[in-house]
């Protein structure tokens, strides 16, 4: 069911609803409903056996009203152009909701990196970045890691782009290793930002974070770090699942030990002292906090009526469908939408870019402190919007905050002509 849903259409529906709620002109939606630029490239890669395989890659640039474009690159066999379009839209509003001066972009290559050797992966990374290099730049479009890409892949891409330019341009890529301009705190940033938002949500509804039960779907980088950080806050991690199965223990799992077990075995399934649990069981189990940290369209209209969590923190992009959103809102579940909950990664990517431009680097404590301020302020702005308006959910509130910022930038840049004074005042007030 989830795979049949079109993420691009979902993103467009979310934009349209927020534009209508804000009472903005149709021109705002007409600009924001589609990307400003799309590039699809053929990426020939020499394999280790001497053959050449051609991969398909995409880079989609959505909107640059607030600043240079920003968005990750994913390597995945199920990458589609519509998926990348949707992700670029979500990136625009993810940046805007936390108040960083970026527009949204996204990239992807149709491949299965698990089937590639390290040398093949490096060749693919370099060939792809070379193919899209004409539309990249530290002041134009700044990629970052996403699904199945990491700091090493970013280092190869930065190096290839720098060769293309003839000089080091560290700021063209974020999520790099520390030694070549990366930022301290970047690896944990997405998860850390999510935990700050979940903590604030718990405070808002009167849920004591200490002792709160947590279930996590997906145990990769984001999911495992969220588990560790929430555990340190006093939460009880009762269940996790990955692509092969799950582990459940009502007395609580120890994230560090679970991560070590997964590194050794390749799965969380079979973790000592746990009971097996499947994906749907986890999504519908009794818990205080549910963290979807896998892929899109996981909580559907079939799943939503059975969700028992009080708070959902979307560490993944687009894990909840629009119909499921409405059901969850009616049930009183407080959903922390992806464009807010997982914006910690792009926020620290922005910090990395700033540090690259300055040539001066901050301590991890300084990065984490700045991240917490950004995430708490963003949560408060979205939650206040949510409380001020009837019949909206937190996702729509987040889009309303974001679109009010992007729309104002488009107006002052002259993209939409001169707005009536009362419309400007309404946008400023609502933002």
Q: Which residues pair with 57 in a beta bridge?
A: 41, 109
Residue 395 Cα distances to 67, 97, 311, angstroms: 23, 11, 13
Q: What is the DSSP string of 31-74?
A: HHTS-SEEEEEEEEEE-TTS-EEEEEEEEEEEE-SSSSEEEEEE
CA atoms of 185 and 207, how far apart (whole Å): 28
- Give the residue from 350, 389, 384 showing the smallest Cα distance to 367: 350
d(CA 21, CA 14): 11
Cα within 13 Å of Cα(13), Cβ side: 12
Q: For residue 418, give the DSSP letter.
A: P
Residue 145: strand pairing partners: 73
Catalytic residue of the set 70, 106, 176, 262: 106
φ/ψ of residue 183, rounded to 5: -105, 140
DSSP code of residue 325: H
**Which regions of 293-351 does DSSP assign to beta strands (E)?**
311-313, 334-336
Sheet strands side by side (includes 213-217): 245-248, 236-242, 213-217, 289-292, 311-313, 334-336
Q: Does 106 qualify as catalytic in the annotation?
A: yes
| Distance between CA atoms of residues 283 and 300, nearest Å | 10
Which H or E run includes 265?
Answer: helix 255-265
Q: What is the DSSP string of 162-216?
A: HHHHTS--GGG--S--GGGT--TTHHHHHHHHHHHHHHHHHHHHT--STT-EEEE
Catalytic residues: 106
């Amino acid at each position: 069911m989830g795979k049949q849903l079109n993420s691009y259409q979902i993103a467009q529906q979310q934009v349209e609803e927020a534009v209508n709620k804000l009472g903005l002109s149709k021109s705002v939606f007409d600009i924001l409903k589609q990307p400003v630029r799309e590039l699809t490239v053929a990426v020939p890669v020499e394999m280790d056996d001497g053959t050449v395989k051609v991969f398909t890659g995409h880079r989609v640039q959505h909107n640059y009203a607030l600043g240079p474009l920003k968005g990750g690159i994913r390597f995945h066999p199920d990458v589609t152009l519509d998926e990348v379009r949707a992700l670029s839209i979500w990136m625009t509003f993810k940046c805007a909701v936390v108040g960083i001066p970026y527009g949204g972009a996204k990239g992807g290559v149709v491949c299965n990196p698990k089937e590639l050797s390290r040398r093949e992966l490096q060749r693919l990374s370099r060939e792809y970045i070379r193919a899209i290099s004409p539309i990249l730049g530290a002041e134009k479009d700044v990629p970052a890691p996403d699904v199945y890409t990491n700091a090493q892949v970013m280092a190869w891409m930065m190096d290839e782009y720098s060769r293309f330019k003839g000089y080091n341009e560290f700021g063209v890529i974020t999520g790099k290793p520390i030694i070549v301009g990366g930022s301290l705190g970047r690896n944990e940033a997405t998860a850390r930002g999510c935990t700050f938002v979940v903590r604030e949500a718990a405070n808002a509804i009167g849920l004591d974070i200490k002792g709160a039960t947590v279930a996590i779907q997906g145990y990769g980088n984001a999911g495992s770090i969220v588990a560790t950080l929430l555990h340190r806050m006093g939460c009880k991690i009762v269940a996790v699942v990955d692509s092969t199965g799950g582990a459940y223990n009502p007395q609580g799992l120890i994230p560090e030990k679970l991560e070590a077990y997964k590194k050794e075995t390749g799965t969380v399934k079979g973790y000592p002292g746990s009971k097996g649990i499947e994906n749907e069981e986890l999504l519908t189990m009794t818990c205080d906090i549910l963290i979807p940290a896998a892929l899109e369209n996981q909580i559907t209209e079939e799943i939503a009526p059975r969700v028992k969590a009080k708070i959902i923190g979307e560490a993944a992009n687009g894990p909840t469908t629009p119909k499921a959103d409405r059901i969850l809102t009616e049930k009183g579940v407080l959903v922390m939408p992806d464009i807010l909950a997982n914006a910690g990664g792009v926020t620290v990517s922005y910090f990395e870019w700033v540090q690259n431009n300055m040539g001066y680097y901050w301590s991890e404590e300084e990065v984490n402190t700045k991240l917490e301020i950004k995430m708490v302020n963003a949560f408060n702005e979205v939650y206040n919007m949510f409380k001020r308006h009837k019949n909206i959910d937190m996702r729509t509130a987040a889009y309303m905050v974001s679109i009010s910022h992007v729309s104002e930038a488009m107006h002052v840049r002259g993209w939409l002509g001169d707005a009536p004074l009362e419309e400007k005042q309404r946008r400023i007030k609502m933002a």
